[in-house]
Amino acid sequence: MKLRFPLTALAFLLAAQFPVTGFAAGGKKLEVFSWWTSGGEAAALDALFQAYRKADPGVEIINATVAGGGGSAARPVLQARLAGGNPPDTWQSHPGWELLGQYVAANYCEPITDIYQSEGWDKVVPKGLIDLMTKDGQTYAVLVGVHRGNVLWYNKKVLQKNGINVGDKVTFDEFFAAAEKLKSAGVTPLAVGDSGIWASSQLFENTLLGTVGPQGWTALFNGKMAWDDPKVKQAAETYGKMLGYQNSDHSALTWDQAVKAVMEGRCAFTSMGDWAYGEFAKAKLKDNEDFGWVAHPGTDAAFIIVADGFTLAKGAPHRDECVAWLKTCGSKDAQEAFNPLKGSIPTRTDADKSKFGPYHNWSMTAFGSAQLVPSVVHGEAAPAAFQQALNDAITTFVVDKNANNLTQALVQAAKESETAQ
């Protein structure tokens, strides 16, 4: 398996510019690396820091963030630091391939299996999630929350004004009928902010799942369905049709600016993981009043997991502080403070549901009943090289709208990842 991230001089430069929060009392420090910089993300991260400060006061927290949704800008910076022997104490990672293939295989992480035992996490975190972070019997990260990737968000008032009713699920036909209606009323139906291409890849990922279903999803990743299967082509065509309804300034916007376009009624829908919820919450908008949501068309029976974990660096400069940080991340209190702001749900099954509003309760119910599938766009389902190839193929597709080229690129990428493993 190859790592494609370039170790550029720019990456080193960015790595030197981390802002510092808090005060150094007694010289204790902790460096936390993440890409949580949007309004909702930063607020949620701050709630984690506050929980940590309660547990371990007087530690100076070095908040090492690198802006860019989905971590596409942060990961190259992190790679440069890890390869250069200058790791942060802990960094944000998705479980699955990203954690195990990029960081554990390269020997950058210390196992934290003993913390799972001492904190009793093995009893309250679903085994399926722990398995995604475990290799040869050792577990390498603690999750703070689980996002649902396949959510279609909408501006309630805009839809009401245009006589559009969204039920508890939508089909692609229903979505396109609504989009046509909105378009003829002069409203941009779909907000996309793909200045980071991953956001458009995510629209494709959600549409692919809505077309092949959760069984098809599993088949694609275990090699039982080919990437040029007619259903994948059909998904590409449906995705292409959706792009016909997107905002013309999509490539100039970030994902959260696209969410803002929905909040402000400039666009009606956006298909985005439920970190979008964090933006609505930060703007003090109300669940089911100002904004609504439904699973992305065709995906109501499935839940794309996009989970956020933190690691313990091998050779962490502040190991004790980092262990305390990880214990905070896995605690009930921290998860109940962080997730309402972030949009994700706690990984702990003993979290108090009454502390969460309508959106989170919807997501928790779906997590318990829908089929859980990993995300490619967020590094869980496939090696980094395949994730990158998908982003490249989507960059091309946005321009040429050629479903054959897209599926051929994916066939080729799947072949290359197999031989590279």
Minimal distance in Å, beta carbon 68 to ligand BGC? Answer: 8
Q: Give the length of the chain.
A: 421
Q: Which is nearer to ligand BGC, 228 or 380 (CB)?
A: 380
Q: Which is nearer to ligand BGC, 91 or 275 (CB)?
A: 275
Sign of CA dihedral 179, 182, 186, 192: negative
Q: Which is nearer to ligand BGC, 200 or 407 (CB)?
A: 200
Minimal distance in Å, beta carbon 387 to ligand BGC? Answer: 11
Q: Which is nearer to ligand BGC, 40 or 216 (CB)?
A: 40
141/134 Cα distance (integer angstroms): 8
Instruction: Please identify the residue of the shown chain whose CB is closest to the bound ligand BGC.
Output: 275
Cα separation of the two ends of the chain: 4
- Side-chain half-sphere CA neighbours of 60 within 13 A: 10
- Locus of tokens 């991230």: 5
Q: Which is nearer to ligand BGC, 259 or 403 (CB)?
A: 259
Minimal distance in Å, beta carbon 150 to ligand BGC? Answer: 13
Q: Which is nearer to ligand BGC, 80 or 306 (CB)?
A: 306
115: number of Cβ within 10 Å: 17
Q: CA–CA distance from 262 to each of 192, 240, 266, 272 (Å)?
A: 10, 21, 6, 12
Minimal distance in Å, beta carbon 355 to ligand BGC? Answer: 20
Q: Which is nearer to ligand BGC, 4 or 233 (CB)?
A: 4
269/262 Cα distance (integer angstroms): 6
- Side-chain half-sphere CA neighbours of 411 within 13 A: 14
Asked if 147 contacts 308 with a C-beta cutoff of 8 angstroms, the reply is yes
Minimal distance in Å, beta carbon 104 to ligand BGC? Answer: 18
Minimal distance in Å, beta carbon 90 to ligand BGC? Answer: 15
Q: Which is nearer to ligand BGC, 196 or 297 (CB)?
A: 196
| Alpha-carbon torsion, ordered 388, 390, 392, 396, to 10 deg | 180
Q: Which is nearer to ligand BGC, 164 or 326 (CB)?
A: 326
Cα–chain center distance at 332: 21
Q: Which is nearer to ligand BGC, 147 or 327 (CB)?
A: 147
333: number of Cβ within 10 Å: 12
Asked if 42 contacts 63 with a C-beta cutoff of 8 angstroms, the reply is no
- Write the single-letter amino acid at 321: E
Minimal distance in Å, beta carbon 69 to ligand BGC? Answer: 4
36: number of Cβ within 10 Å: 25
Residues that bind ligand BGC (CB under 6 A): 35, 41, 69-71, 147, 275, 306, 308, 378
Minimal distance in Å, beta carbon 272 to ligand BGC? Answer: 9
- Locus of tokens 């999630």: 129
- The phi and psi torsions of 401 (rounded to 5 degrees) equal 50, 35
Cα–chain center distance at 316: 25
Minimal distance in Å, beta carbon 11 to ligand BGC? Answer: 18
Minimal distance in Å, beta carbon 234 to ligand BGC? Answer: 27
Q: Can you spell out the DSSP letters for 48-112?
A: HHHHHHHHSTTPEEEEEE---GGGTTHHHHHHHHHHTT---SEEEE-TTHIIIIIIITTT-B---
